[in-house]
Structure formats: C-alpha cells, structure tokens
Amino acid sequence: MAESQNKNLPVYAVFFAIIVKLYFLLTHHIQEDAFITWRVAQNLMDYGVIGFNGATKISASTTHLYVFVSYFFNLIFGKENFIEPLLIFNTVLFSIGSLFLSHLLLKNPWHKAIFIFLFGILPPSIKISILGMEYGILFFLEMALLYYGFKKEKRWALLILPVFILFTRIDSVIFLGIVFLVDTFWNRKIKWSYVLGGILGVGVALAFNWFYFGEFINNTIVAKKLRYDNNFTLQQNWDYFRLNYGNFWGMLKLPGDFNPFTILVAVFEMVCFIFIIRQKEQTQRNKFLWMIFIFAWTKQIIFLSQKSLFDWYYWVPQILLFVPVLIFVLEQKEKRNLWLSALIVFYILPMLAFQTVHSIATGNGEWNYRRSIGLYLDLYEKDKKQWILLEPAGYVPYFSGLKTIDEVGLVDKQIQEEIKKDKTNYWMNTVKKREPKYLLSYKDLFSGKDAEYYKSHYKLLKEFRIKDHLSSQNKILEKIYHLKPSGTDYNLYEKIK
C-alpha cells in the first residue's frame, strides 16, 4: 500500500504545484503579446479569418496552434470568461510536462515529487504557466516527445508530436534539431520515424503559411527582423551583451549593466551538470540531460545573436538550465536535507517572492493601467472600423476593439512598406498617408520637428500617466507599486474633423 502511494507522489505534486501557482491569477500579470493571439482567435470567430483587422489575413500571432486552442476556449467559455480557464489549462499542461521530465531524469518517487514542485514555482515556470503565452503547450509537447518518443520509443510520438511542436512555434526546430543530433550521436543510428516526423512538421507549418497567408515565414518574424535590424560594430555587440545577458541567463532582471548573481547561477548550473553527467551508470538519463542542456544554451545564444530582447524567448531555456541543480541537490547522499534546505531558503523562496512582487507590480501596470486605455477608447469610440496607430498591439487594441496599425508591423503589413522606404520617418509617413483617427504615443507629438503637422491635424484627447495608478487602499500593494512601477506614460490624440 505504501509503495503504491509513493508511486503516486509525483502526480500529487503536479496537483499541488498547480494549486500553489493559481494565486498568481489574482495579480492579473498577463503578457502583452498574449492579447495579440487572443484577438487573432476572436477575429477568426467574428470574420472566419486568421487575422487582426477584419477580413484581412495576416499571421499576427507567433503561434498557430495556440490561436486555435484560444479559439476553442472562446467558443466554450465566451469572450468575457475564457482567460482564466485558458491560463489554468496552460498551467496544467506545463505541470504535466514537468512530470514527464521527472520521469526522464529521476527514479525515486519522492525525488520526482520534490523536483516537480520546486521546478514549478521558479519564476520562468510561473511565467510559462500563467502569463498567457503559448509556452505551456510547447513545454508539454516537447517533454511528451522526449518521454514517449525517446524513452518509451513510441513511433506515433516520433511522427506526430514534431508536427504539433512546429505548428506551435516554427523556431522550435532548434529543439527538434538538437534532440536529433544528440540521439543520433548517442545511439550511433538514426531514428527514421523521427526524421519523417520532422519533415512532416516543417512541411505542415510551411505549407499552412504558404497556402493560407502566401508566405513561408510568419509575419511576426519578418516584421521584428525588419523593425529591429541593426548593424552593430564588435564593440557595440559586446556592450549589448554586457547590458542584457543578466536578463536571459538569470531568473530575474536587476538594474545596472553588471549582474554577478547571474554569473554565479550560470557557473553553478554548469558545475552541477558536469558532476551529474560524470555518473557513467546513468547512461539513459545523461542523454536527456545533454539534450535539454545543449538546447537551452543553443537557443539562448542564437536569439541573443539576433538581438532578440523579448524575455519570453528565454523562459524555457532558463528553467531547463536549472534542472541539473535540482538533481544535484536531491541526489546528495550526505547532508541532503541541509543542501535542500539551503536551496529552498536562499534561492527558491527568494525567487518566488521576487516573482510575486514582480507579478503584482506588472499586473497593476498592464491590467489596471494599460487595459484602462483600451476600456476608455471602447466607451469613447463606438465605430470599431476606426484606426489607431500605436505600440504595442496587445492590451489597447484588444480592449478597445479598434482597427490597429502597430509600429513594428506585427498586425499590419502596410507599415512594413513604409519602414522599407524610409525607416527614419516611417511613423510620420504612415500618419500622413493613412490618417488614422487615433494616435497613441509615448512622446509629446506637439513638440519636435513635425509638431506643426500634428497640431493642425490632431488634438490631444487624453493623457495617461502611470503615476495615477500607483495608489491602493492596501498599503502593502501600494508599496509594491512604488517599489517597482510598471508602465509607460502615453498621450492619446484624436484626428480633427
């Protein structure tokens, strides 16, 4: 009886980890880009078209599979009530993925249970679970592939799961490629079913893009590359890396351009990894450790080299790089409890506290503040065929319902043409050519070189200031808001009739 209960401990840990993380729903910390995907899903409901602005097709969301999942959640729960069920669904999938990962790396049920829980409450895991992005689904699919395809050697997993993985995110080809290389090197033979699965995955993703959108590469990738393309010198590349590395290898963002904490964590992760893989008797486990560790480093290096600033690209690599630390501590033969206690007290709990503060502050800045701009416009402008030019294209377009031109071109291709013609003046050129009824800007448009044009064609409708949203009747919340204010000041302009 006791042995049977021990076998179920990892499953109990999954439920416990899910329940503990659900309190983050109260913070309303939801990533801006999630609302782009959700608007695309609702556009599919309303117009029968995968797009953002009415009947115009555009791959405005990075992920196709998550668009369809969001579409079904909208159908089932309705537009007003689907968000919380979908976030819970993402959390459940991530937690099941962590169960698969524990089966790959550990044997003792107690170790698996502790691993699942501690792994699940670290900042990247919380963000993958709760922030509304597609990474909960992606992590589940990737870990299912490793567990069923490469541990259980199920042919169906090798054929089908790569298709779903690539349909979730096309850049997950990095993960599939690293897994293929490590497995082939390890076993000295090729899994042809997996090769076929990879070919099917790439074929399905590219064919869907081509036959539906008329493009092979998602518009989001093209737009970001076009807008953020910079030719850096060697010194500028080094300065860029020095200023940003702490955001990607660490689990928290610290102010300043030197983050010794991140270096310490990265070194300890490497030391633990080397210590574990030297255990030659754990041949099968070592293969999976090599897979996830090489993938995590490769993904981060590739995206850093491409100047990818968006932190959600690094959530899965961040959490996978920490896996050897958890295994190292759990498998200590002497003073295990001391090691585990030190890890929890000096790292896990501080990280959880940091993420709690971060989510409360960011949730206030996004949900209470930025959403209020969209709600204001929703009440002010009843004609949802009117256009707004802004950045970013998440909260405000979603809650206002207005047609949208975003600065980057994620949801509108015409502005990309203006960027190609004249990157310096593309905003002004877009305003003159398309005359959107509303402009939402970080800047004061009535000062600067084009001030006279704006003054003669637009009026300042309303100022939105983050300082007006830093108060709360709860003094603890108010202190958090002031400790880490999240949000940007905006000026909203309306076209003069």
Comparing C-alpha atoms, which of 140, 173, 170, 182 is closest to residue 157? 140
- Evaluate whether 209 touches 218 at the Cβ level (below 8 Å): yes
Q: At what angle do helices 32-47 and 64-77 cross, to 10 degrees?
A: 70
Instruction: Using the predicted structure, report yes or no on whether residue 463 has a pLDDT greater than 50.
Output: yes
Mean pLDDT value across residues 379-392: 93
- Evaluate whether 61 touches 130 at the Cβ level (below 8 Å): no
**Selected residue with higher pLDDT from 354 and 230:** 354
Residues, the chain? 497
Number of Cβ within 10 Å of residue 389's Cβ equals: 22
Using CA atoms, how far apart are residues 4 and 234, in angstroms rounded to an integer? 59
Q: Tell me which residue has tokens 């962590």.
A: 98
What is the pLDDT of the chain when averaged over all its residues? 90
- Evaluate whether 318 touches 248 at the Cβ level (below 8 Å): yes
Q: Tokens for 396?
A: 């405000």
Comparing C-alpha atoms, which of 398, 482, 366, 478 is closest to residue 130? 366
Residue 326 exposed, middle or buried by CB count within 10 Å (0-12, 13-18, 19+)? buried
Instruction: Using the predicted structure, report yes or no on whether residue 268 has a pLDDT greater than 70.
Output: yes
pLDDT band at residue 484 using 50, 70 and 90 as cut-offs = confident
User: How large is the greatest C-alpha to C-alpha distance in the chain, in angstroms?
Assistant: 81
Domain boundaries defined on the chain: 2-331, 383-495
The DSSP annotation for 234-290 comes to HHHHHHHHHHHHHHHHSSS--SSS--HHHHHHHHHHHHHHHHHHT-TT-HHHHHHHH
Number of Cβ within 10 Å of residue 315's Cβ equals: 23
Domain 383-495 has CATH 3.40.190: yes
| Paired residues of 294 in beta bridges | none
- Evaluate whether 251 touches 358 at the Cβ level (below 8 Å): no
Q: Whole-prediction pTM value?
A: 0.93
